[in-house]
């Protein structure tokens, strides 16, 4: 079994297969130190924690993660909080930085004797339509190589080799939300005890705790403007303005240690199986980060794929592999639908004229409904924490 990519999807899959006696090789383009430092997600859904705990992969996050169950909306019509841990299914997030999770999964896999080749870039998956595919690679020494496989799991993200190797008939459902964010990591404690979404006429500002000393902020950002364009002072001023700090309390500032522009795009590949090649995680579907779902779906897909592969490789039953794509797509589309709804909730539509006014009034009405309707709040909570 060859797994492309050592992110959450590839490492959960590798751990599950290796623990059940399947020989795996993970090919990872980056060095290990880079994976330990790559800060991305942080909010893990209750089901993600259950999946990881079920397979003994949750020790670190259960020990060091923190529980989170409140979000606060700040809008032109005032402020309201949703205690989503008491709504819907009564589930909470566990906040645990993605790079810590990846470090835990890597350590577990390597300690158990799993094989991984760092600094090795997969270039293409050849012969996926048959049952003896080959992965072409560029090794750490720069030399080309060929790695034969029985099955290949494409867990190498949206720009990986798995996607590039798909046949022309592969369908990519795609949506550009027309919005960009400047994602920031600040060396500063959280400013509020909730996820903060400030919907402002100048654009969204977001606040998400990561650790007691590190906080993620987002600023809606003009597309094409480089991440470094603003000074730290200007960034903090703008965050304070959009988060209405003058009314609701100051932000706890600190050094900005990471900046990246994210264009909000979503896509879904269909199907998720091409002969011996399977897609999981961001390689299968990219989710706009508005609803913090990507890493959660990556873990879920990895478990679904591991179950199907084990049925085939251990019990000789290939029916799970035939069902994998449909099962996974059902979860992906539900998450995409909620994520799309969140994008529309959180941003003023761009443009001028009657159509823009119409969409903006809808957005306001959605926020009112979310503030006042218990049924709507239950729906929100179930989808916000659920995968």
Contact residues toward ligand RFL (CB under 6 A) are 4-10, 27-30, 35, 40-43, 98, 121-122, 155-157, 160-161, 183, 262, 281-282, 289, 292-296, 298
Q: Is 344 exposed, middle or buried (0-12, 13-18, 19+ CB in 10 A)?
A: middle
96 annotated active-site: no
Give the CA distances from residue 280 to residues 9, 237, 315, 353, in Å, rounded to whole numbers and listed in that order: 6, 40, 22, 41
Of the candidates 84, 217, 274, 384, the residue annotated as catalytic is: 384
Of the candidates 289, 324, 331, 347, the residue annotated as catalytic is: 289
36 annotated active-site: no
Nearest CB to ligand RFL, comparing residues 29 and 363: 29
Of the candidates 293, 331, 347, 348, the residue annotated as catalytic is: 293
Nearest CB to ligand RFL, comparing residues 76 and 146: 146
CB 290 within 8 A of CB 343: yes
Nearest CB to ligand RFL, comparing residues 183 and 320: 183
Query: What tokens were used for 255?
Result: 């050094």
384 annotated active-site: yes
* Shortest Cβ 138–ligand RFL spacing (Å): 9
* Shortest Cβ 233–ligand RFL spacing (Å): 22
Cα radius of gyration (the chain): 21
Of the candidates 96, 109, 151, 197, the residue annotated as catalytic is: 197
Nearest CB to ligand RFL, comparing residues 121 and 311: 121
197 annotated active-site: yes
Nearest CB to ligand RFL, comparing residues 183 and 386: 183
Query: What tokens were used for 358?
Result: 């119409």
* Shortest Cβ 375–ligand RFL spacing (Å): 26
**Terminal Cα distance for the chain, rounded:** 27
Give the CA distances from residue 206 to residues 183, 240, 287, 313, 349, in Å, rounded to whole numbers and listed in that order: 9, 11, 17, 45, 17
* Shortest Cβ 30–ligand RFL spacing (Å): 4
**CA 298, CA 289: separation in Å to the nearest integer?**
13
68 annotated active-site: yes
360: nearest Cα among 338, 345, 342, 375: 345
**CA 302, CA 130: separation in Å to the nearest integer?**
22
Give the CA distances from residue 191 to residues 170, 171, 252, 339, in Å, rounded to whole numbers and listed in that order: 45, 43, 5, 25
* Shortest Cβ 132–ligand RFL spacing (Å): 20
Of the candidates 8, 18, 68, 348, the residue annotated as catalytic is: 68
Which residues are known to be catalytic?
A: 68, 197, 289, 293, 384
């Amino acid at each position: 079994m060859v797994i492309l990519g050592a992110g959450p999807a590839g490492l959960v899959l590798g751990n599950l297969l290796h623990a059940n006696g399947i020989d795996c090789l993970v090919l990872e383009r980056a060095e290990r130190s880079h994976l330990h430092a790559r800060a991305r997600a942080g909010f893990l859904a209750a089901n993600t924690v259950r999946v990881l705990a079920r397979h003994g992969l949750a020790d670190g996050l259960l020990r060091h993660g923190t529980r989170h169950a409140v979000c606060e909306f700040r809008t032109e019509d005032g402020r309201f909080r949703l205690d989503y841990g008491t709504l819907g299914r009564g589930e909470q997030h566990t906040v645990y930085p993605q790079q810590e999770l990846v470090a835990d999964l890597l350590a577990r896999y390597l300690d158990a004797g799993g094989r991984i080749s760092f600094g090795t870039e997969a270039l293409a998956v050849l012969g996926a339509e048959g049952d003896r595919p080959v992965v072409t690679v560029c090794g750490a020494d720069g030399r080309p190589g060929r790695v034969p496989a029985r099955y290949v799991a494409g867990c190498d993200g949206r720009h990986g080799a798995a996607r590039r190797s798909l046949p022309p008939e592969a369908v990519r459902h795609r949506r550009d939300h027309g919005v960009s964010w400047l994602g920031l990591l600040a060396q500063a404690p959280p400013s509020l005890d909730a996820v903060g979404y400030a919907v402002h006429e100048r654009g969204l500002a977001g606040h998400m705790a990561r650790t007691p000393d590190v906080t993620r902020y987002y600023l809606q950002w003009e597309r094409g403007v480089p991440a470094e364009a603003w000074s730290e002072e200007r960034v903090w001023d703008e965050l304070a303005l959009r988060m209405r700090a003058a009314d609701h309390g100051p932000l706890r500032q600190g050094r900005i240690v990471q900046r990246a522009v994210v264009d909000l795009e979503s896509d879904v590949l269909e199907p998720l199986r091409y002969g011996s090649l399977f897609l999981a995680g961001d390689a299968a579907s990219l989710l706009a980060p508005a609803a913090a779902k990507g890493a959660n779906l990556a873990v879920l897909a990895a478990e679904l794929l591991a179950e199907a592969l084990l049925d085939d490789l251990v019990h000789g039953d290939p029916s799970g592999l035939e069902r994998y794509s449909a099962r996974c797509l059902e979860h992906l589309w539900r998450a995409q639908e909620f994520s799309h709804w969140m994008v529309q909730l959180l941003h003023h539509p761009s443009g001028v004229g009657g159509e823009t006014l119409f969409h903006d009034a809808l957005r306001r009405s959605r926020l009112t409904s979310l503030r006042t309707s218990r049924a709507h709040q239950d729906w929100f909570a179930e989808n916000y924490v659920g995968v």
